[in-house]
Amino acid sequence: MPEGDTVWQAARRLHEALAGKPLTRSDFRVPKYATVDLAGRRVLSTIPRGKHLLTRIEGGLTLHTHLRMEGAWKVFDAGERWRGGPAYQIRAVLATSDRTAVGYRLPVVELLRTTEEERIVGHLGPDLLGPDWDPGRALANVLADPGRQLGEALLDQRNLAGIGNVYKSELCFLLGVTPWLPAGALPADRAEKLPGLAKRLLEANRDRPVRQTTGLPRYDLFVYGRAPRPCLRCHTPVRVADQGDGSQERPTYWCPTCQTGPAPAPGSPQRWRDKYPRRAG
């Protein structure tokens, strides 16, 4: 499930593979750009912005892609067999003389002028892994709507960019509150910790192949994906329920003992089996 750290890793792979080299091939398998040919243009850089990827190309162009839930960029050596899914799932190909980047299941593929990037990412809040990170502004954004559920406020990329459903659940656990707690009810001492804790989690994981929030050798995450297994702290079964506005509900995990605050009303739909299987532990 792509989050800020995953996107940061994808940007680094693309940058290391393509930056500074002329393209020998480009192939955009979306109708709007099917005839575009960027061969001969040099790739300047790839940078992440929240969950967006911006690949800047000579001539003032930027390729904007977004992974959302299932997208992925894979990088292969020249002549290497592509492995990332069936050919019909490929949405973009960028190749140099020695490396090929293949974008699978990308829901967003857009070419724009580099000068227009703000149109795409200008609405985002401070980026947890970016040079614009501002913890004070991020916290103020989260608390600006005090009646909004904390989990929803954390997922809103306009507040701070980079948190997805995994970190939403883990952050709320580490803060000791449920994701359904109104943001304005977050105790002041925990609110002060929120921006720094979020940044530390993403920074610690941007170079890891598997996310780790517990610091424990046998367990990767405290609550996400663990229902109905025991909480690692108190052994109460971890619970899972949907959180969202109905149009975009997401499975949300919490410990009813370690985390204080509101929880879904009795009788609301709850998932007692993990929808997103993870490795044991």
Question: Which residues are the active-site residues?
Answer: 2-3, 51, 250
Tokens of 260: 């204080």
Please tell me the distance from the alpha carbon of residue 185 to that of residue 177, in angstroms, as a whole number.
Answer: 10
Cβ atoms 58, 113 nearer than 8 A: no
Cβ atoms 143, 75 nearer than 8 A: no
C-alpha dist (Å) from residue 25 to 15, 93, 102: 16, 8, 11
How many Å separate Cα 111 from the centre of its chain?
A: 21
Please tell me the distance from the alpha carbon of residue 59 to that of residue 38, in angstroms, as a whole number.
Answer: 10
C-alpha dist (Å) from residue 275 to 60, 173, 225, 272: 43, 19, 8, 9
Please tell me the distance from the alpha carbon of residue 136 to that of residue 119, in angstroms, as a whole number.
Answer: 24
Bridge partner list, 27: 93
